[in-house]
């Protein structure tokens, strides 16, 4: 069996966004892979037949950036998003056969869409500035006057490819002028890796052609006109309205949880668009879903009183108005995804609970809750057919991503295993679950042993720390699966845990790090390290630590307070809470997590900042940060780097061009590989020796040669 190395992260395939067809015969899903030669992440729509189990999963689209598969309820089309011709647009493929046709487009790209119940229209979301909305209205008014006068289009007026190319270049030129110089008046004004350009997500509808014989000539109608954000809507069953959520305080980012449920009338010849607020409370609501019978709307809800420390629950309300019923609050855990049963009697959902993400369902009639799966897994997407069978994608400790079917009797069958060949050729190290007490809390953690583990030998320990801080890791977290396996197969015992402040263990645990980002969680983690060392197979002089985002914060905090680690890698971390408040796109999140602002208690915020511990750092520290990270800007790493250099500490800074906060999950393939190699090399530099009693490299791998040949090859913080 071969061992897993850094380059092989690009061999792993992931499954996402599972959607079962209305007739229950097929499941569509997004297949995520990497193209080494093009240095691109590839996503395509694939189909798995649910009737004939022996028919293998197969590609349904040929694009390289196709996502969000959505079946029309009349079972005639499969719609999806694609940027194959430039900006992201909605395409549809007739299930009877034929080519994909663009059915909805916007010059600023479509971000999400949904079919009307009868399949005759599509609602979609697109970002648009105030001046662009004015031009849209003027063009619509002009077109209406022409239609009312009975005039016909001038022959030859339709734009050809050359006209469209010139229009695109003109728009790009005009856009460049709007940011030369860039005038900032809004907040947030940048997020992810981009500036927002004063654009807000508004809602549109467009008619879908009966026949796909020609390009869709219908014009989209914008339903909203506001400098605020609307979310993906859900259609009423009669198609007369959309249910969406609207940002109540647009100066806040999505992470601020300030969203109200709204109803938007879809205009007819005799009606105008109207936006009606249905729920405006001290809760924030998200992702409304109208039940198939049209009687209920389900949505996620979070209490806005310190929302970072609150569970995300599943609630319902009658579509005609009435009391909101919380269906999952008693579980004291957060709901992730949810789907209506086809008969509207149940809501199926995934729950983040105790280091696992499993399937549950709740009765709308009596509130009865039942757990449907109970495995050491992390379910990432699912859908339900008419009979109640569930198709889901999940990661396990042995397989990072596969497609499964849960039958009505609870039996689970594998539908598609994209990594089967990879797993059959490579040894996967097992993951052991552990638990231990730290203060008033029980901490859950995991240990991964190197191949051919021998308890009589001594191994180096690699400690991994998650971000968030409210993230919840499991033994099956797919974004970390390859990294953990790589470290283990390079000879490290890998340990990770969910310290106080993590999600999945109830609100008391979730809020236990409020105003205590450092010492409390640090003690939880180091008690776990002590527990592993006490087992006798760890060389306590060869321990290393790494973490990203909030995990980067804790990595820097720990090496400033504790000298046990030989090397550390802090990635995209927060290091100065005072300056972080002025550069992040989520300053209010920062305030609530730390319990203060710089104007209220600057001394306290300095004392909570890892940079304050710079004089005490003895551990060689590698800082990794992306140059376009607007969640935790690179200035945080620059400050800590210069501080450590001024104290003549051992430190290096790696700056990743073109990348943002999601480098490790969705960055350029070559960058993702290089990142893991640099982490391993930094650790090896300070732990390697000639001790034959220390298990090191995978057999047959020369890491230095790997690096030289590398060019041949998706929480808040």
Report residue 153's pLDDT band, with 50, 70 and 90 as the boundaries: very low
DSSP annotation of 315 = E
| Distance between CA atoms of residues 34 and 39, nearest Å | 7
- Which carries the bigger pLDDT value, residue 258 or residue 77? 77
What is the dihedral sign for C-alpha 349, 353, 357, 359? Answer: negative
Mean pLDDT within 449-463: 96
| Distance between CA atoms of residues 232 and 220, nearest Å | 16
| Distance between CA atoms of residues 440 and 30, nearest Å | 42
| Distance between CA atoms of residues 597 and 610, nearest Å | 17
pLDDT at residue 154 above 80? Answer: no
| Distance between CA atoms of residues 533 and 527, nearest Å | 10
**236-372 matches 429-712 in fold:** no
Proportion of the chain above pLDDT 90, given as a percent: 75
CATH homologous superfamily of 236-372 equals TolB, C-terminal domain (2.120.10.30)
Give the pLDDT confidence of 614-630 residue by residue, as tens digits: 999 999 999 999 999 99
Q: Find the distance separating the first CA and the last CA of the chain, reported in whole Å.
A: 37
Residue 490: both structure tokens together: 């390079």
Domain ranges of the chain: 236-372, 429-712
Q: Can you give the pLDDT at residue 711?
A: 33
Q: 170-174, 320-324, 447-451, 605-609: which has the minimum mean pLDDT?
A: 170-174
pLDDT at residue 185 above 90? Answer: no
Mean pLDDT within 107-127: 96
How many CA atoms lie within 13 Å of 687's alpha carbon, on the beta-carbon side?
A: 33
| Distance between CA atoms of residues 629 and 637, nearest Å | 11
Mean pLDDT within 187-202: 85
Cis ω before 683 (30° cut-off from 0): no
Report residue 148's pLDDT band, with 50, 70 and 90 as the boundaries: low
Mean pLDDT within 239-267: 81
Q: Can you give the pLDDT at residue 253?
A: 54
Backbone angles phi, psi at 32, to 5 degrees: -105, 125
Identify the residue whose tokens are 């389900």.
298
Q: Which residues are registered as beta bridge partners of 207?
A: 121
Residue by residue, DSSP assigns 489-549 as: HTTPEEEEEE-TT-SSS-HHHHTTTTT-SSHHHHHHHHHHHHHHHTTS-EEEEEEEEEEET
pLDDT at residue 16 above 70? Answer: yes
| Distance between CA atoms of residues 670 and 655, nearest Å | 14
* SS3 of residue 345 by DSSP: coil
Cis ω before 469 (30° cut-off from 0): yes
Q: Can you give the pLDDT at residue 155?
A: 44
DSSP annotation of 449 = P
- Which carries the bigger pLDDT value, residue 186 or residue 438? 438
| Distance between CA atoms of residues 595 and 589, nearest Å | 10
Cβ atoms 98, 109 nearer than 8 A: no
Task: Give the chain's radius of gyration (CA, Å).
Answer: 26
Report residue 305's pLDDT band, with 50, 70 and 90 as the boundaries: confident
What architecture does CATH give domain 429-712?
Answer: 3-Layer(aba) Sandwich (3.40)
DSSP annotation of 328 = S
């Amino acid at each position: 069996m071969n061992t897993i190395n850094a380059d092989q992260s690009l061999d792993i395939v992931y499954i996402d966004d599972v959607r079962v067809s209305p007739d229950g015969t097929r499941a569509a899903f997004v297949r995520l892979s990497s193209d080494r030669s093009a240095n691109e992440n590839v996503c395509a729509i694939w189909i798995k037949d649910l009737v004939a189990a022996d028919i293998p999963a197969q590609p349904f689209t040929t694009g390289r950036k196709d996502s969000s598969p959505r079946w029309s309820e009349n079972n005639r089309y499969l719609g999806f998003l694609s940027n194959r011709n430039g900006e992201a647009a909605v395409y549809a493929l007739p299930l009877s056969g034929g080519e994909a046709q663009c059915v909805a487009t916007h010059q600023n790209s479509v971000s999400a869409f949904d079919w009307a119940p009868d399949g005759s229209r599509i609602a979609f979301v697109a970002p648009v500035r105030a001046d662009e909305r004015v031009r849209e209205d003027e063009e619509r008014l002009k077109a209406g006057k022409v239609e009312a006068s009975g005039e016909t289009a001038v022959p030859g007026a339709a734009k050809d490819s050359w006209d469209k190319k010139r229009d695109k270049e003109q728009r790009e030129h005009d856009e460049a002028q709007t940011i030369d110089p860039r005038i900032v008046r809004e907040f947030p004004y940048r997020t992810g890796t981009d500036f927002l350009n004063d654009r807000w997500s508004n809602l549109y509808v467009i008619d879908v052609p009966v026949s796909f014989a020609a390009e869709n000539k219908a014009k989209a109608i914008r339903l909203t006109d506001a400098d605020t954000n609307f979310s993906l809507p859900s259609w009423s069953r009669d198609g007369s309205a959309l249910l969406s959520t609207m940002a109540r305080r647009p100066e806040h980012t999505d992470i601020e949880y300030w969203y109200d449920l709204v109803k938007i009338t879809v205009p007819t010849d005799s009606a105008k668009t109207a936006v009606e607020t249905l729920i405006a409370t001290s809760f924030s609501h998200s992702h409304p879903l109208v039940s198939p019978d049209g009687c209920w709307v389900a949505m996620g809800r979070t209490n806005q009183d310190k929302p970072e420390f609150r569970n995300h629950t599943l609630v319902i309300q009658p579509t005609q108005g009435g009391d909101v019923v919380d269906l999952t609050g008693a579980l004291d855990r957060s709901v992730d995804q949810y789907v209506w049963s086809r008969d509207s009697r149940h809501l199926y959902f995934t729950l983040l609970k105790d280091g696992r993400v499993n399937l549950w369902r709740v009765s709308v009639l009596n509130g009865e809750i039942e757990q449907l799966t109970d495995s050491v897994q992390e379910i990432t997407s699912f859908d339900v057919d008419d009979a109640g069978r569930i198709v889901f994608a999940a990661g396990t400790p042995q397989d990072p991503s596969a497609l499964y079917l849960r039958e009505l009797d609870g039996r689970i069958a594998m539908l598609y295993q994209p990594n089967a060949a990879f797993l059959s050729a490579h040894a996967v190290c097992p993951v052991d679950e552990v638990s231990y007490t730290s203060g008033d809390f029980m901490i859950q953690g995991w240990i991964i042993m190197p191949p051919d583990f021998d308890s009589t030998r001594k191994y180096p320990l690699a400690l991994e720390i998650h971000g968030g801080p409210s993230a919840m890791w499991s033994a099956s977290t797919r974004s970390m699966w390859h990294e953990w396996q790589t470290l283990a197969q390079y000879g490290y015992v890998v340990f990770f845990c969910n310290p106080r402040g993590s999600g999945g263990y109830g609100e008391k645990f979730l809020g236990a790090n409020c105003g205590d980002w450092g010492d409390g969680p640090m003690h939880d983690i180091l008690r776990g390290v002590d527990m592993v060392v006490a087992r006798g197979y760890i060389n306590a002089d060869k321990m290393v630590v790494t973490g990203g985002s909030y995990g980067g914060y804790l990595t820097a905090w720990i090496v400033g307070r504790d000298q046990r680690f030989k090397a550390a890698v802090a990635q995209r971390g927060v290091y100065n809470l005072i300056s972080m408040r002025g550069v992040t796109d989520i300053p209010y999140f920062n305030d609530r997590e730390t319990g203060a602002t710089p104007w209220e208690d600057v001394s306290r915020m300095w004392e909570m900042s890892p940079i304050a511990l710079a004089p005490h750092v003895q551990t060689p520290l590698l800082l990794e940060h992306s140059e376009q990270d607007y969640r935790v800007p690179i200035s945080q790493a620059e400050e800590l780097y210069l501080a450590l250099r001024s104290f003549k500490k051992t430190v290096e800074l790696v700056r990743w061009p073109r990348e943002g906060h999601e480098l490790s999950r969705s960055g350029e393939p070559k960058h993702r590989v290089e990142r893991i190699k640099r982490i391993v090399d930094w650790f090896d530099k300070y732990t390697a020796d000639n001790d034959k009693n220390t298990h090191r490299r995978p057999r047959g791998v020369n890491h230095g040669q790997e690096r030289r040949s590398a060019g041949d090859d998706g929480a808040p913080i």
